[in-house]
Structure 1
Amino acid sequence: MGRKIVGVLGGLIVGFAWNMALVILSSYLFPPPAGVDLNDAEAFAAYVETLPMTAFLIVLVAHAGGAFVGGYICEMIVGQNWLAGPICIGTLTLLGGVTNLMMISHPVWFAIADLILYLPAAIFGAIVAGKSHPSQPVTSEPESIATDE
């Protein structure tokens, strides 16, 4: 049980780091005009409307990629086929995405794609990770240690 909790937390942390790194990259590549107060909701909304599709695609890769990386890391830490962790990560990142969409206006195509990708990306990350390590069966009893008697 402890390994699963660490897997989910580790996946969330690494996925969040991935997300933030790409969002920061996007804001570096597409900075707001000088003098724009990003704390002003109307000014920020006006800035978002000027962004090219490339900026939104980077953010989409940040969001879906964060869920993918989170599912991947969770699976690698847990070390067995356990989709509940990546589903938890996908759900939590989806909730973050919904919150983000409620706070910041985005193009409709972005909102739809963003919401659709979180869960499948997290699950796909776990599947990819599962193929890179041998599956260990889930057991409820500890393995016995054979002794020579």
Structure 2
Amino acid sequence: MKRNILSVVVGLATAIITFLIAETINGNLHPAPTTLDYKNTIAVRAFYENQPISLWLLVLAGWVIGSLLCGFLIKLISKSDNKKLPIIAGCILTLSAVANFFSLPHPTWFIVVGLLVFIPSTLLGHKLYKLKSNGQ
């Protein structure tokens, strides 16, 4: 049981670190103007509505990579085929994305894809470890 909890915590922490790395890269590629007042919702909405698709795709790439790593580490640490663990982690990541959707404006297509990406990605990461270990 401790190993299962530890695997989910480490997997989630790794996913979050991966998301932060992607966001940092994104911030460097698409910097917000220093004059942007985040308390001014109209200005923030205008800023995000005018961002190129590359900004949103980089965020999604970070989410997919982080979720894959999460599922992979869950399998590696827990040493369990229990799919409930990556599903739980994927649900937690999805809920964190929902909170993010309420805090900053996002395009509708991004919200839809964002809601669908975490659980399949954590499950795929979980399965990838299984494929790797069977191949050796």
Please list every run of 5 or more consecutive structure 1 residues that lacks an aligned counterpart in the other structure. 135-149
Partner of 1:72: 72
Deviation at 1:39, TM superposition (A): 4.2
The list of structure 1 runs, each at least 4 consecutive aligned residues, that deviate by more than 4 angstroms after superposition, is none
State the shift of 1:115 in Å: 0.7
Residue 110 in 1 paired to residue 110 in 2?
A: yes
Q: Which runs of 5+ in 2 are unaligned?
A: none
Asked if the contact 1:11/1:69 (under 8 Å) is kept, the reply is: yes
What residue is the counterpart of 2:55 in the other structure?
Answer: 55
Distance 1:108 1:17 in 2: 25
Q: Which has the larger radius of gyration?
A: 1
In structure 2, the residue matched to 1:122 is 122
Taking only the aligned residue pairs, the percentage that are identical comes to 25
Write out aligned runs for 1:93-108 (5 A): 93-108=93-108
TM-score computed with the length of structure 1 as normaliser: 0.84
Specify the alignment match of 1:12 in structure 2: 12
Cα-Cα RMSD: 1.3
8 Å contact kept, 1:11–1:71 = yes
More helix by share: 2
**Aligned residue in 2 for 1:87:** 87
Report what 1:142 is aligned to.
none
Question: How many pairs align?
Answer: 134
